[in-house]
Amino acid sequence: MGVQGWSAVRMGIVVCGYLAFFCSEFVSVTEAGCRERGNQNCCPGRDNECFEYTRRKTVCYCDSYCQKTRDCCEDYQHVCQISAAIDCKVGLWGPWSSCSSPCGFGSKERSRQVSIPPRNGGSPCQDLRQRRGCYGNNVICDNAKEVAKILPDSFKRNFKDPWRRPHMLMKEEKNSYCVYLRVKQASAACRLKLWSAQLVRERLVCAECQSDAMSNSDRCAGDGIDGIRTFWTAASTPGCHGSWMRELSSEHCRCPPYSVLFV
């Protein structure tokens, strides 16, 4: 074989070497990526276990979070069929709720729904709930301002007057009702008398509204409002006053002994 023949053979060996090198590089690129993962090619959200090694032996990821951290494998877009990012879209705000407190300071809320959830790394949803302050001024608030005057049940209101003549005008007798109230506050002066000393914090007290103490609306003033703190004062104990909250009321009933009466 001549000199030219050996030169041609050598050139061919060199060319094949380069081709083999580039072919190996190309094969390693296609083999290193999400396609080669055994269990699951692509993972939703953020998953640090969803990774593969590149041809340079560095770590690349196949979870959707890699689009934000920019460390996806080279074939991530193709294998996982990721389309363009979709931002979140929300609907219009709903109406404001009623004030949480019918009397005094409270809060109200409004909300809205998600129309299109974010996908493929799109912008997250904005606030779906808003809250603001309010001041309740319900029609029952006037009743909440009333201060109940109370006496021990030893002061029975419905006694028979021995001097009343039969022809004298008799007041219409109305049915009594009971109100159970939880004491929230009592002044120190309440300890001065035995009956008012029972009005201590968190004690449940039965207050009876009898016919003579009723107003034109067939109720006793200051008989409380469910869930709202109202105020009371002891008529026979100077300086004894406090607040309570009504928990239950019962028609046509009598309170047990050692209770109180509305005046």
* More confidently predicted of 28 and 252: 252
| Strands, E assignment, the chain | 51-53, 59-61, 89-90, 103-111, 114-116, 129-137, 147-152, 177-186, 204-209, 229-234, 241-251, 260-262
Neighbouring-strand partners of residue 55? none
pLDDT per position as a tens digit, 124-157: 899 999 999 998 877 667 777 789 999 998 886 5
Q: What is the pLDDT of residues 2-45, one digit of tens each?
A: 545 444 544 544 444 444 444 444 434 445 688 877 767 788 88
Dist CA 118 CA 72 (whole Å): 19
Q: Whole-model pTM? A: 0.48
Is the pLDDT at 259 greater than 70? The verdict is yes
Q: Which domains does the chain have, with CATH numbers?
A: 31-83 (no CATH), 90-137 (2.20.100.10), 147-156+175-262 (no CATH)
pLDDT for 194-228, tens place per residue? Answer: 999 999 999 999 999 988 888 777 888 888 888 88
